[in-house]
């Protein structure tokens, strides 16, 4: 589904990502990406979605090399993302912005998305006047529109409490299985990731530490070292 080959991103002399290899072969699973601060998780996300140009390496979706495609092109192909820093449309009503994107991407079941993410109550509100948690869900909803086959969610639970995070992940797990979407989730809350994700990638300092099932990653010595080095 998604394959990342030797992906490297440098900002000047700073190597944010160095030779990362990653593969998520199945549909309908949640794949977590974890790592301490500065591990390069967001950079990985940016590189895969086209927000940043990699200095080296390639990105394949369904076998197709998409490394040189624009952000809009990737979206139309079915790769969507949500943002760590909420990126929605201020000044425009929630319903209006969802409908606009829905019409662009040929979404037939917007009502379903709105239901699943409980956005009904705020449907007619102006997006920046609603609560933070609601805004985060709008951010995710915008990524869900148009039947994406690959979703990249950058810290979807940022700013939410532990219980809210659990609930969000439960939703994500349901959505992913219902719609047969592959979801890559960058997340700080390691417990939630180990609990809900089917497979996990661990990064540290721009490099790949481990790839595999939660059990495998959890017991990987390199991962343990990286996390014990920082407060776990």
Q: Binding of other proteins at residue 141 (CB under 8 A)? A: no
Q: Binding of other proteins at residue 75 (CB under 8 A)? A: yes
Q: How far is the CB of 42 from other proteins (least distance, A)?
A: 14
25: tokens are 């072969």
- Per DSSP, which regions of 25-165 are E strands? 30-34, 56-61, 64-65, 79-82, 150-154
Q: Binding of other proteins at residue 48 (CB under 8 A)? A: no
How far apart CA 107 and CA 126 sit, in angstroms, is 22
Q: Binding of other proteins at residue 90 (CB under 8 A)? A: yes
Q: How far is the CB of 123 from other proteins (least distance, A)?
A: 4
Q: How far is the CB of 91 from other proteins (least distance, A)?
A: 5
Give me the phi and psi of 130, to 5 degrees please.
-95, 170
Q: Are 141 and 151 in contact (CB under 8 A)?
A: no
Among 126, 173, 205, 224, binds other proteins (CB under 8 A): 126
Q: How far is the CB of 76 from other proteins (least distance, A)?
A: 5
Count Cα neighbours of 132 within 13 Å in the Cβ-side half-sphere: 9
Task: Residue 149: name the closest of 194, 190, 179 by CA.
Answer: 179
How far apart CA 182 and CA 176 sit, in angstroms, is 7
Among 62, 64, 103, 162, binds other proteins (CB under 8 A): 103
Provide the binding-site residues for other proteins, judged by CB under 8 A: 49, 70-72, 75-76, 80-81, 83, 87-93, 95-105, 110-111, 114-121, 123-126, 128-129, 131-134, 137, 142, 145-146, 160-161, 163-164, 167-168, 170-171, 174
């Amino acid at each position: 589904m998604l394959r990342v080959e030797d992906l490297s991103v440098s900002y000047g002399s700073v190597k944010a990502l160095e030779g990362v290899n990653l593969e998520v072969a199945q549909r309908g699973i949640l794949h977590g990406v974890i790592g301490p601060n500065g591990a390069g998780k967001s950079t990985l996300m940016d590189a895969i979605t086209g927000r940043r140009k990699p200095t080296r390496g390639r990105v394949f979706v369904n076998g197709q090399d998409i490394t040189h495609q624009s952000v809009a092109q990737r979206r139309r192909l079915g790769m969507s993302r949500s943002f760590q820093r909420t990126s929605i449309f201020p000044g425009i009503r929630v319903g209006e912005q969802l409908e606009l994107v829905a019409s662009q991407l040929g979404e037939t079941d917007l009502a379903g998305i709105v239901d699943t993410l409980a956005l009904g109550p705020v449907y007619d509100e102006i997006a920046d006047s609603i609560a933070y948690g609601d805004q985060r869900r709008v951010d995710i909803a915008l990524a869900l529109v148009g039947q994406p086959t690959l979703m990249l969610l950058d810290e979807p639970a940022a700013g939410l409490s532990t219980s809210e995070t659990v609930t969000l992940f439960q939703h994500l797990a349901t959505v992913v299985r219902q719609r047969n979407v592959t979801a890559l989730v960058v997340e700080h809350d390691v417990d939630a990731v180990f609990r809900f994700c089917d497979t996990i990638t661990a990064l540290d300092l721009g490099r790949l530490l481990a790839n595999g099932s939660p059990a495998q990653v959890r017991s990987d010595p390199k991962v343990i070292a990286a996390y014990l080095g920082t407060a776990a």
